[in-house]
Amino acid sequence: MNHDDHVSLLRPARLPSGGTWADLGAGTGAFTLALRELVGGEAVIYAVDKDRSSLAELRRGYEGRFGETSGLHILHADLRAIPGLPPLDGVLMANSLHFFKDNVDLLSRVRGLLKPGGMLLLVEYNVDRGNPWVPYPLSFSTFKSAATAAGFEVPRLVATHPSSFLREFYSASALTR
């Protein structure tokens, strides 16, 4: 997948301009860059990951694409204990939820980071059987159950994209109740 594919997975969610967002499990920033493209330069984005070298690469890529890093906050943290985030308008989790077996618990914590009416935007493999690299994927159907159990409204399927690795990716959005 390339940058245009990442943007295409997120664009149909019709994200509002600006706001305060977090990309949880941002890695090297492929989806952070797509998010920034869609929410614009007025947005504040917290890129959270436990891998410092990935976050350094994210910063370089962000600056290379947008010419600056204002509005970008890099946070080195584990997703199970994220310190110091303000109330968020949105959270992006792209290929990060599948690393957590207890996804309802993590989704409940994510819900707690969001303002009322805040949005969770998920990108995930559309399968329920994992492998050593993607241990706990959630099909869209499974995500719907997990998200509602965690206190979100029923998620909406946003887009899909083929994957040569595990069938297909999907993006979905869910609002806080």
Instruction: Per-residue pLDDT tens, the chain, 177 aa: give them.
Output: 899 999 999 999 999 999 999 999 999 999 999 999 999 999 999 999 999 999 999 999 999 999 998 899 999 999 888 888 999 999 999 999 999 999 999 999 999 999 999 999 999 999 999 889 999 999 999 999 999 999 999 999 999 998 877 789 999 999 998
Tell me how far apart the alpha carbons of residues 24 and 97 are, in angstroms, rounded to a whole number. 9
Its pTM stands at 0.95
Place of tokens 């968020």: 88
Q: Which helix (H) or strand (E) holds 63?
A: helix 52-66
Tell me how far apart the alpha carbons of residues 143 and 107 are, in angstroms, rounded to a whole number. 10
- Smallest Cα–Cα separation from 32: which of 114, 96, 112, 113? 96
> What pLDDT does residue 163 have?
83
Domain region containing 27: 3-175
> What pLDDT does residue 1 have?
85
- Smallest Cα–Cα separation from 85: which of 112, 119, 113, 110? 113
> What pLDDT does residue 95 have?
93
What CATH number is given to the structural domain containing 105?
3.40.50.150
Helix pair angle (3-10, 30-39), 10° resolution: 60
Tell me how far apart the alpha carbons of residues 116 and 74 are, in angstroms, rounded to a whole number. 24
- Tally of domains within the chain: 1
> What pLDDT does residue 113 have?
95
Dmax (CA) for the chain in angstroms is 41
Place of tokens 């909406």: 156
Q: What are the residues facing 94 on neighbouring strands? A: 123
CB 47 within 8 A of CB 26: yes
Tell me how far apart the alpha carbons of residues 9 and 54 are, in angstroms, rounded to a whole number. 22
> What pLDDT does residue 9 have?
94
Structure token pair of residue 130: 């994992």
Residues 6+ apart with CB under 8 A from 164: none
